[in-house]
C-alpha cells in the first residue's frame, strides 16, 4: 500500500500524475524531447545585423514586435544585433573576409563593393513590386549595377537630409523661415556669428554627416564626382565654386570644432544651443521632443538649400540590406524583406518618420501624416519634407552608386577636399586636382 505523503498524495498517485504530465508534455513538445536534432532543423534561425537606430523607438518596434511576430509566424528564431553606425563598414568587412556572419546585413550607404559576395536581390524587388508598386529611383540607383544588371542590395527606406536651424537667431538675422539658399545661409550665418557668436555647424570631418552635406553643396553648385556614364568629373569649375563658397562660409561663420566631429556631434551642438544651422536628419528634433528639451520649439526643419544650379541633397542614410552569398538562411532572409515591406507603415510610424519609404504606396498619406505630428512643436514642423523626392538623390549622382563610388565614399575624399580648402591648407585648384587623382586611381581599379 502506498504511503500518503504530507499533502495526502500517495507515491503511486505521484507517479501516475507525473507520468501523465510527462506524457502530455511529450505530446506537445514531442519532437523537441524525443528528436532534438529534428526539432532544431524545423525551427530555422535568421540572423540580422543593423545599426542602432537614431530613433530608439524604431529598434523597440523592429526587435520586439515585427521580428518577434515574423519569427513566430515562420517558425524562425530571429536574432537581431545592433551596432553603432560607424562600426558597420568594419563589421561588414570582417564578415565578408571570414565568409561567415549574419544572413541579413544592413549598411547605410550603397555597398556595391560587396556585389560579388551578395546574392541578386531582383527577386525580392519583383515580389515587393507586385504588391506595392514600383520603387523610387533613389532606391534603384543605390542598389543596382547597370554593368552586371544585378541588384546587390535591397533598399526599404531612405532618410531625408534637411536643414536644422535655430528659429530665434535666424529670425533676428532677417530670415524668419530660415535659409532657403546657400547664399542666404552664408549671409545669415555670418550675421548670427557676428552678433551672437554662435557659429554655423556644417561639418568638415571624415564622417557621414559631413559627407552628405558636402555632396549637397557640390551638387547644388553643379559639380559632381562622376557623370551619368561613370566618368570622373570632380575637377570642374563648378567644384571650384563650391570649394570657394565653403572656404568663405567656414572663415566667416564656423570654428575649427567642425574638423573634429563624429556623426552625433552636430546633434549635440544643435541641442546644446551652440550652433545656428546644421544639415542632418530629423534625429535632432526627435531627441529634443523625446527629452522635452527647452530648445525643442526653437529648432526648425527646412528643405535642402538651393544653389546656383539646383536644390539638391543626398539622402542622409540609405538602408541597404545585403544577403551574403555565404548566408545560411538565404530564403528566410528574402522572405523577411518581402514581409517587412508589408509592415513598412508600422515601422515608419515607430521610427517617427525617420525612415521614408522606397515604395511610396506603403505610406500613401505620407504628406498628411508628417504635416500634422502631435509630437512636433509646432505640429507641422516636418511638413517641409513632403516634397523630399524632388530634391533628395543618391550617392554617385547623377550616376549610380557603383563600387568605385562606394570606395571613394569610404575614403572620405570629398570631406577632405573641402576641409583642406576651408582651412586654407590647399587652393581650390590643388584640392580638386588631388581629389581627381584619387578618384581616377579608384575608378581605374574598378573598371
- In the region spanning residues 71 to 90, those forming contacts with another protein, defined by CB under 8 A, are 89-90
- How distant, in Å, are the alpha carbons of 226, 354, 435, 442 from that of 413? 13, 27, 6, 11
Q: What is the 3-state secondary structure (H, E, C) of the chain?
A: CCCECCCCCEHHHHHHHHHHHHHHHHHHCHHHHHCHHHHHHHCEEEEEEEECCCCHHHHHHHHHHHHHHHHHHCCEEEEEEEECHHHHHHHHHHHHHHCCCCCEEEECCCCHHHHHHECCCHHHHHHHHHHHCCCCHHHHHHHEECCCCEECCECCEEECCCEEEEHHHHHHCCCCCCCCEHHHHHHHHHHHHHHHCCCCCCCCCCCHHHHHHHHHHHHHCCCCCECCCCCECCCCHHHHHHHHHHHHHHHHHCCHHHHCCCCCHHHHHHHCCCCCEEECCCHHHHHHHHCCCHHHHHEEEECCCECCCCECEECCEECEEEEECCCCCHHHHHHHHHHHHHCHHHHHHHCCCCCEECCHHHCCCHHHHHHCCCCCCCCCCCHHHHHHHHHEECCCCCCCCCHHHHHHHHCCHHHHHHHHHHHCCCCHHHHHHHHHHHHHHHHHHCC
Region for 2 from its dihedrals, namely left if φ exceeds 0, alpha if ψ lies in -120 to 50, beta otherwise: beta
259 binds another protein (CB under 8 A): yes
Q: Is 411 in the site for another protein (CB under 8 A)?
A: yes
CB of 230 to another protein, least distance (A): 18
Give the nearer residue to another protein in terms of CB position, either 93 or 122.
93
Pairwise CA distance, residues 125 & 127, whole Å: 6
* Cβ 380 to another protein shortest distance, Å: 30
Based on the shown chain and the rule CB under 8 A, indicate whether residue 433 belongs to the binding site for another protein.
no
Q: Is 265 in the site for another protein (CB under 8 A)?
A: yes
Q: Per the structure block, which three cell numbers stand in for 37?
A: 536534432
Size of the residue set binding another protein (CB under 8 A): 47
Site string for another protein, 302-341 (x = CB under 8 A): ----------------------------------------
Of 5-13, 45-53, 367-375, 408-416, which part binds another protein (CB under 8 A)?
408-416
Which region, judged by CB under 8 A, interacts with another protein, from 75-83, 131-139, 234-242, 269-277? 269-277
Per-residue cell: 9: 498524495
* 159 DSSP β-pair partners: 317
* Coil, helix or strand at residue 424: coil
**Residue 257 binds another protein (CB under 8 A):** yes
Among 48, 269, 305, 432, binds another protein (CB under 8 A): 269
Determine if 272 is a binding residue for another protein (CB under 8 A): yes
**Residue 241 beta carbon to another protein: minimum distance, rounded to whole angstroms:** 21
Q: Judged by CB under 8 A, which of 2, 19, 146, 256 binds another protein? A: 256
Instruction: Note whether 190 binds another protein by CB under 8 A.
Output: no
Span interacting with another protein, options 141-149, 192-200, 299-307, 385-393, rule CB under 8 A: 192-200
Report in angstroms how near the CB of residue 442 gets to another protein at its nearest: 8
> Is 260 among the residues that bind another protein (CB under 8 A)?
yes
Q: Is 205 in the site for another protein (CB under 8 A)?
A: yes
Residue whose CB is less far from another protein, 206 or 352: 206
Nearer to another protein, 24 or 272 (CB): 272
The reply to whether 276 sits near another protein by the rule CB under 8 A is: no
Q: How far is the CB of 276 from another protein (least distance, A)?
A: 11
What Rg do the C-alpha atoms of the chain give, in angstroms? 26
Q: Taking a C-beta distance cutoff of 8 angstroms, is the pair 270, 299 a contact?
A: yes
Nearer to another protein, 274 or 306 (CB): 274
> 108 vs 363, which CB is nearer to another protein?
108
Q: Of the listed pieces 47-55, 259-267, 308-316, 380-388, which binds another protein according to CB under 8 A?
A: 259-267
Sole window of 183-191, 220-228, 278-286, 418-426 interacting with another protein (rule: CB under 8 A): 418-426
Name the minimum Å distance from CB 51 to another protein.
15
- Min separation Cβ 187 and another protein, Å: 19
Q: Measure the CA–CA gap between 142 and 405, rounded to whole angstroms.
A: 11
Q: Is 444 in the site for another protein (CB under 8 A)?
A: no
Say whether residue 191 binds another protein (CB under 8 A).
no
Q: For the segment 95-154, give every residue that binds another protein (CB under 8 A).
A: 96-97, 111, 113-117
Q: Provide the binding-site residues for another protein, judged by CB under 8 A.
A: 89-90, 92-93, 96-97, 111, 113-117, 197-199, 204-207, 255-262, 265, 268-269, 272, 274, 403, 406-407, 410-412, 415-416, 419-420, 423, 425, 434, 441, 445
Amino acid at each position: 500500500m502506498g504511503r500518503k505523503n504530507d499533502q495526502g498524495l500517495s507515491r503511486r498517485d505521484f507517479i501516475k500524475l507525473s507520468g501523465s504530465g510527462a506524457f502530455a508534455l511529450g505530446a506537445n513538445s514531442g519532437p523537441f524531447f524525443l528528436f532534438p536534432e529534428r526539432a532544431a532543423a524545423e525551427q530555422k534561425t535568421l540572423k540580422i545585423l543593423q545599426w542602432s537606430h537614431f530613433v530608439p523607438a524604431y529598434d523597440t518596434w523592429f526587435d520586439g514586435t515585427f521580428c518577434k511576430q515574423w519569427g513566430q509566424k515562420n517558425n524562425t528564431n530571429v536574432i537581431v544585433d545592433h551596432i553603432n553606425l560607424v562600426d558597420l563598414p568594419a563589421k561588414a568587412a570582417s564578415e565578408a573576409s571570414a565568409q561567415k556572419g549574419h544572413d541579413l546585413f544592413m549598411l547605410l550607404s550603397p555597398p556595391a563593393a560587396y556585389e560579388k559576395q551578395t546574392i541578386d536581390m531582383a527577386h525580392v524587388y519583383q515580389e515587393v513590386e507586385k504588391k506595392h508598386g514600383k520603387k523610387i529611383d533613389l532606391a534603384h540607383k543605390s542598389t543596382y549595377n547597370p554593368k552586371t544588371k544585378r541588384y546587390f542590395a535591397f533598399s526599404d527606406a531612405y532618410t531625408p537630409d534637411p536643414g536644422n536651424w535655430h528659429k530665434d537667431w535666424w529670425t533676428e538675422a532677417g530670415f524668419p523661415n530660415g535659409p532657403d539658399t546657400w547664399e542666404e545661409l552664408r549671409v545669415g550665418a555670418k550675421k548670427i556669428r557676428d552678433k551672437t557668436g554662435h557659429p554655423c555647424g556644417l561639418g568638415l570631418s571624415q564622417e557621414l554627416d559631413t559627407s552628405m552635406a558636402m555632396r549637397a553643396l557640390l551638387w547644388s553648385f553643379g559639380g559632381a564626382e562622376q557623370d551619368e556614364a561613370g566618368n570622373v568629373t570632380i575637377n570642374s569649375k563648378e567644384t571650384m565654386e563650391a570649394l570657394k563658397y565653403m572656404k568663405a562660409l567656414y572663415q566667416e561663420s564656423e570654428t575649427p570644432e567642425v574638423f573634429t566631429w563624429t556623426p552625433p556631434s552636430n546633434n549635440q551642438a544643435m541641442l546644446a544651443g551652440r550652433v545656428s544651422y546644421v544639415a542632418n536628419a530629423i534625429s535632432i528634433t526627435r531627441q529634443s521632443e523625446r527629452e522635452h528639451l527647452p530648445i525643442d520649439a526653437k529648432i526648425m526643419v527646412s528643405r535642402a538649400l538651393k544653389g546656383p544650379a539646383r536644390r539638391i541633397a543626398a539622402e542622409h542614410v540609405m538602408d541597404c540590406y545585403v544577403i551574403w552569398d555565404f548566408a545560411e538562411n538565404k530564403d528566410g532572409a528574402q522572405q523577411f524583406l518581402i514581409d517587412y515591406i508589408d509592415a513598412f507603415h508600422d515601422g515608419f510610424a515607430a521610427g517617427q518618420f525617420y525612415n521614408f519609404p522606397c515604395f511610396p504606396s506603403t505610406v500613401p498619406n505620407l504628406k498628411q501624416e508628417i504635416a500634422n505630428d502631435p509630437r512636433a512643436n509646432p505640429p507641422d514642423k516636418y511638413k517641409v519634407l513632403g516634397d523630399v523626392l524632388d530634391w533628395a538623390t543618391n550617392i554617385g549622382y547623377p550616376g549610380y552608386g557603383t563600387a568605385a563610388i562606394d570606395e571613394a565614399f569610404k575614403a572620405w575624399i570629398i570631406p577632405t577636399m573641402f576641409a583642406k580648402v576651408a582651412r586654407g591648407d590647399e587652393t581650390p585648384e590643388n584640392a580638386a586636382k588631388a581629389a581627381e587623382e584619387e578618384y581616377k586611381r579608384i575608378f581605374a581599379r574598378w573598371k
